[in-house]
Amino acid sequence: MDSREKILIMEEALDRHYGVPDPPSGDPLEILIRTILSQNTNDRNRDRAYEGLRRRFPRWADILEAPYGEIAEAIKGGGLNHQKAKRIKEILKWVKERWGGWSLSPLCRLPREEALSQLLSLKGVGLKTAYCVLAFGCSEDLFPVDTHILRIMKRIGTLPPGTSASKAHELLAPLIPQGKAVPLHLNLIRYGREVCRARAPLCGRCLFPQICDFRKKENGRRSSQAPRA
Task: Based on the fold, state whether residues 170 and 152 are members of the same structural domain.
Answer: yes
Task: Based on the fold, state whether residues 85 and 184 are members of the same structural domain.
Answer: no
Domain endpoint, select from 78, 102, 137: 137
- Give the whole-number percent of the chain exceeding pLDDT 70: 95
Which pLDDT tens digit goes with each residue over 63-73? 999 999 999 99
User: Model pTM?
Assistant: 0.90
Q: Answer yes or no: is pLDDT of 87 > 60.
A: yes
Give the C-alpha separation, 197 to 200, whole Å: 6
The answer as to whether 226 is a domain residue is: no
Cβ neighbour number for residue 120 with a 10 Å cutoff: 12
Domain endpoint, select from 80, 114, 137: 137
Task: Based on the fold, state whether residues 108 and 166 are members of the same structural domain.
Answer: no
Give the DSSP H/E element, type plus range, for residue 113: helix 112-120
pLDDT average, residue stretch 195-207: 95
Task: Based on the fold, state whether residues 204 and 127 are members of the same structural domain.
Answer: no
Burial string for 167-204 (b: 16+ CB within 10 Å, else e) reads: ebbeebeebbeeebbbbbbbbbbebbeebbeeeebeee
Give the C-alpha separation, 57 to 63, whole Å: 6
Q: Answer yes or no: is pLDDT of 229 > 70.
A: no
- Give the whole-number percent of the chain exceeding pLDDT 90: 86
Task: Based on the fold, state whether residues 127 and 40 are members of the same structural domain.
Answer: yes
At 222 the pLDDT is: 58
Can you give the residue range of the structural domain that contains 195?
3-21+145-215
Domain endpoint, select from 88, 116, 137: 137
Which pLDDT tens digit goes with each residue over 91-150? 999 999 999 999 999 999 999 999 999 999 999 999 999 999 999 999 999 999 999 999
Task: Based on the fold, state whether residues 114 and 198 are members of the same structural domain.
Answer: no
Task: Based on the fold, state whether residues 54 and 112 are members of the same structural domain.
Answer: yes
Q: How many domains does the chain have?
A: 2
Task: Based on the fold, state whether residues 105 and 67 are members of the same structural domain.
Answer: yes
Residue 159 sits in a domain whose CATH number is: 1.10.1670.10
At 84 the pLDDT is: 95
| Average pLDDT across the chain, whole number | 93
Residue 86 sits in a domain whose CATH number is: 1.10.340.30
Which pLDDT tens digit goes with each residue over 178-192? 999 999 999 999 999
At 206 the pLDDT is: 96
The answer as to whether 76 is a domain residue is: yes
Task: Based on the fold, state whether residues 33 and 127 are members of the same structural domain.
Answer: yes
At 223 the pLDDT is: 56
The answer as to whether 223 is a domain residue is: no
Q: Which residues contact 150 (CB under 8 A, 6 or more apart)?
A: 159, 163, 165, 168
Catalogue the active-site residues: 128
At 1 the pLDDT is: 84
Give the C-alpha separation, 159 to 26, whole Å: 31
Task: Based on the fold, state whether residues 156 and 98 are members of the same structural domain.
Answer: no
Give the C-alpha separation, 131 to 138, whole Å: 10
Q: Answer yes or no: is pLDDT of 75 > 90.
A: yes
At 23 the pLDDT is: 83
Give the C-alpha separation, 35 to 128, whole Å: 9
The answer as to whether 225 is a domain residue is: no
